[in-house]
Structure 1
């Protein structure tokens, strides 16, 4: 896990956020997502600098599309967002859980 994943996991694990159960590094179809809440069908992905590369952006778009076709909501955050504005990240996640 990256540092930002560890920080976010501390806030998500054990039903700490809104009483919702999250799983870390969870397999869905042919992918492994960073965090997943089954009851809300919510996927959370954290993106490092590699996600700025054009070929990675294309891959991420395809991956997001395939996961959405499974009826899942996808939230993507940059690692820096978690490190610098964790409260805003948690607020967006909480809103998506509703």
Structure 2
């Protein structure tokens, strides 16, 4: 069974809950940002990096096999962190899941 992480209540979560064979995993901080956005990640590189690492760690802590989002820039940021950590956790855009990957 594939495990994905999504917020406790959201429209994307509601859509994902309708996908057969998909288990949604709750995080400790569903409200926390990955730290990648606009000029923030450039002006506050260290803070952005730490936020992303914290976000990824929350997913890993809960055994997520995949991280999903509707925001491609967030996914790219977290994927870079996962890649540098040599993690097996994958990122996938919500549209890919809803389209049946």
Normalised to the residue count of structure 2, the TM-score between the two structures is 0.40
Q: Which has the higher strand share?
A: 1
Q: Which has the higher helix share?
A: 1
